[in-house]
Amino acid sequence: MTLRRCVSFSLYARLAGYGFRKHATYVGAALAGAFTNSVFGVLRAYILIALWQARPGLAGYDVTAAVTFCFVTQAFIGPMQLLGGGLTLPERIRTGDIALDLVRPAPLQLWLLAEDLGRAAYQLLLRGLPPMLAGAAVFGITVPRDPARWAGVLACVTAGVVVSFAWRYLVCLSVCWLADDRGVMVCSMLLTTLLSGMMVPLTLFPGALGELVRALPWAAMAQAPADVYLGTAPAGPTLAFQAAWGAALLALGALATRAVRHRVVIQGG
């Protein structure tokens, strides 16, 4: 049993490395994305500065914290695929190649998760750091000095990637039941953009609505790790919240994968 676990760990570690190397091929695209994220981060920052100057202390943040939140969430766009995408599964379902994926020597969901973690690590370095550096250079954002908080941030970012993957995996599997997945993809992008904290802090939502959006899985993708970075939320409970949603969504993905095994259809064939 121990040998089998070691072999499984080695396989997933190799898959994560493969995901990193595969996306490292497209350095130009990553740098272009980093530049775009940095520019839009500056634009978002000026909007938030104007808002916080008009309403000081809004949502419990000062101006510096609001600007820091802006660039931290900009850094999450690539690693967590907050605008959607990152998986080639829909096309493989349409062509029927999913049949080959389902007979691989590892569960399809875990196989793709390992690759996605490698992709996210690369995106965090190439697309995540430049917006943070731009924010530090232009606005002087907050940078944690406590190594323990950095460890908590890294753990929460990893958990956020897992939640993001689990959600995107479910969206991709919808292709098995839909002839065209574009509508689902657009709805997913809108929900993630609005409810993850990417646009504005979710603490701006009032009352019961605010409590609801902060309890949904999208909050685990950007808002939760950003709060840990800012020190406005403890790492332990935040990580538990993310882990709960990650486990729930992965379990739904596993059930959906079982259903897919009985519904492999080559569209147009």
* Highest mean pLDDT, choosing among 128-132, 191-195, 205-209, 245-249: 245-249
Residues 16-29: tens digit of each pLDDT = 898 898 888 888 88
Mean pLDDT of 29-41: 90
Secondary structure (DSSP) of 219-243: GGTTHHHHHHHHTSS-HHHHHHHHH
Mean pLDDT of 43-50: 92
Query: Is the pLDDT score of 147 beyond 70?
Result: yes
pLDDT of residue 5: 56
For residue 175, what pLDDT band results from cuts at 50, 70 and 90? confident
Query: Is the pLDDT score of 161 beyond 80?
Result: yes
**Considering just the CA atoms, what is the radius of gyration of the chain in Å?**
19
Count of residues making up the chain: 269
Query: Is the pLDDT score of 162 beyond 90?
Result: yes
Identify the weakest region by mean pLDDT among 25-34, 35-44, 139-148, 170-179.
170-179
Q: Given phi > 0 = left and psi -120 to 50 = alpha, else beta, which region is 147? A: alpha
For residues 41-67, b (16+ Cβ closer than 10 Å) or e, as one string? bbebbeebbeebeeeeebbebebebbb
Q: Which tokens in the block code for residue 91? A: 């096309």
Residues 92-101: tens digit of each pLDDT = 777 777 777 7
4: burial class by Cβ within 10 Å (0-12, 13-18, 19+)? exposed
> What value, to the nearest 5°, has the Cα angle with vertex 26 and ends 36 and 24?
110
pLDDT of residue 95: 75
pLDDT of residue 267: 44
d(CA 58, CA 182): 37
Q: Which of 168, 174, 188, 166 is nearest to 247 (CA)?
A: 166
Mean pLDDT of the chain: 87
For residue 269, what pLDDT band results from cuts at 50, 70 and 90? very low
In SS3 terms, 32-62 reads as: HHHHHHHHHHHHHHHHHHHHHHHCCCHHHCC
Query: Is the pLDDT score of 36 beyond 70?
Result: yes
Mean pLDDT of 259-269: 58
Mean pLDDT of 192-205: 90
Q: Dihedral (C-alpha) 242, 199, 233, 248: value to the nearest 10 degrees?
A: -10
pLDDT of residue 250: 96
pLDDT of residue 2: 56
For residues 122-142, b (16+ Cβ closer than 10 Å) or e, as one string? bbbbbbbebbbebbeeebebb
pLDDT of residue 268: 43
Tell me the three state secondary structure of residue 70: helix
Identify the weakest region by mean pLDDT among 63-72, 73-82, 98-107, 140-149.
98-107
Residues 83-93: tens digit of each pLDDT = 887 787 878 77
Q: Which tokens in the block code for residue 83? A: 């605008």
